[in-house]
Structure 1
Amino acid sequence: MDKLPIELQLQFFKVYSEEISIEDFEQWLYGETELEKLVGEKYYLDLVSLNFKDRHIKHEMSKVIDSFLDFGLFEERKLKKILNDLINRTHDFAKSLIATYDLYCSGYNFFDNLGMGYGLIFANDFFDYNDWTKLTENQKNQRIEIIFGGVKKEAGLVLEWINSGKIILTGEVDEIDHYEYIDKRTEAERKLRTIETIETKEIKLRTIAIPNKGVIAKLKGWFS
């Protein structure tokens, strides 16, 4: 099937990623006059006939519309948001850093340095994300400041790979639900890099082994 124009796909991606509410999406859907022409009467009627109060609405909607969407675009948009959160040190910095570890474990191996080197620590320390939200702004800034230089550099590198086409996201998963992608990086670019740290007398050295890589990445501990 032909994919929808990007501007229409984005509306579905936004509701999937909870950037807009179901209610706002529903209002947009009823007012989008071009959609029926693009997907055909049957699919359009199936879509507008859905119960948008149903708690499983996203799943039901996906069965109707997903064949018209390019999930490589969805993944690219998702990953770029996470990487820009880290580079620009946004309010979602901690959440996005934890996400890099989850993405690495879900098949995006090019997040090895970022996810295993930095994201894993945050994922362990803030397994319950409410623990992060309970910190004062000063405590949050202290925790971020220790690693920000290294995180920003690594995030910028991954973003450059995506923007330059060295990493091409397909939006597909394999038989064990790991994300698939096309990797056009050189062998040198695929090698693990030394994790950058900042020396302070309050920080104790912590050593993390990266599984199956045969490499030890040295990380610094955190403020208590």
Structure 2
Amino acid sequence: MSITTNSIEERLFNVWMNKSLIVEFEQWVYQSEELKEYLSADAYFDFLDLNYKSETAYHDLKNLISKEISISQFETWSLLHQLDCVKQRRGDYYKFIENFYNLDYYGYTFISKLSHDYSFYMNYPFGKYGTYDFNELTTFKQNELINEFYPSIIEAVNEVEQWLLNENVILLGGKKYFNDLKFIDHRALSETKKNHTEKAEKKWWRFWK
């Protein structure tokens, strides 16, 4: 899964998401002719001149990267990364499932199916498990709950991935306040209607499951 064939951008995205890669990234900066060609002379010097061992190195590096890649690209790459982890059940995928509810609430309403059919039941597992907090469940119960999502969640993930990759949905980002995350919606009317219908027909009876 990739939103770009540009290996430089992939490197920048990866270190942005994973602080532990900063040591490897530093060595790559010093050795990469590709990076030198990709950046302006001033930007390249900034990456070379950065003190990668300082306490603020990661913050400073992210500031440099943000000058080279747009918020839209970051948002898209980040969400695609989360979706792929959920599909592959890799890394902190269960946290990403849980977070879909927040993203929907903040404004990315195109993921409402993931939010309402899956994430909601991680955030509020009361109906079947007798608690409002996923973290209060035993590991066995947590796994049992998440296992119920598969394989159906993969279809919902694939749908959102295709919208992003085909630029049917273009993320604009924003602050994480109610309805502040923005996106441009180029989906067909039938797809947006389906999205709203599924949300309206929320399976209310599952509260009592």
**Pairwise TM-score range, normalised by the shorter structure:** 0.7 to 0.9
Q: How does 1:167-206 map to 2 (within 5 A)?
A: 167-170=169-172, 172-173=173-174, 178-190=180-192, 191-194=195-198
- The match for 2:52 is 52
- The match for 1:155 is 157
2:85 is equivalent to residue 81 of structure 1: no
Q: Structure 1 residues 55, 128: closer, same or farther in 2, change over 3 A?
A: farther
Task: For 2:157 and 2:85, locate their aligned partners in 1 and report how far apart those are by CA, in whole Å.
Answer: 9
Unaligned runs of 5+ in 2: 126-130
Task: For 2:91 and 2:100, locate their aligned partners in 1 and report how far apart those are by CA, in whole Å.
Answer: 16
* Residue 216 of structure 1: how far off its partner (Å): 4.1
Task: For 1:175 and 1:88, locate their aligned partners in 2 and report how far apart those are by CA, in whole Å.
Answer: 27
Q: Structure 1 residues 61, 92: closer, same or farther in 2, change over 3 A?
A: closer
Deviations 1:100-157 (A, max 9, x none): 123223321111121233213323569988667x614xx4442123232442232222
Q: How many residues align?
A: 198
RMSD after superposition: 3.5
Percent sequence identity is 22
Contact 2:106 2:176 in 1 (8 A): no
Q: What code does the residue aligned with 1:161 have?
A: W
Task: For 2:176 and 2:102, locate their aligned partners in 1 and report how far apart those are by CA, in whole Å.
Answer: 18
Deviations 1:37-87 (A, max 9, x none): 432332222222222223432332233342222443333332222222333
Which is bigger in relative contact order (C-alpha 8 A, separation at least 6)? 2
More helix by share: 2
Q: What code does the residue aligned with 1:109 have?
A: T
Contact 2:106 2:180 in 1 (8 A): yes
Q: Structure 1 residues 90, 222: closer, same or farther in 2, change over 3 A?
A: farther
Task: For 1:19 and 1:91, locate their aligned partners in 2 and report how far apart those are by CA, in whole Å.
Answer: 15
Q: Structure 1 residues 57, 222: closer, same or farther in 2, change over 3 A?
A: farther
Q: What code does the residue aligned with 1:27 have?
A: Q
- The match for 2:128 is none
More strand by share: 1
Question: What TM-score do the two structures reach when normalised by structure 1?
Answer: 0.69
* Residue 174 of structure 1: how far off its partner (Å): 6.7
Question: What TM-score do the two structures reach when normalised by structure 2?
Answer: 0.74
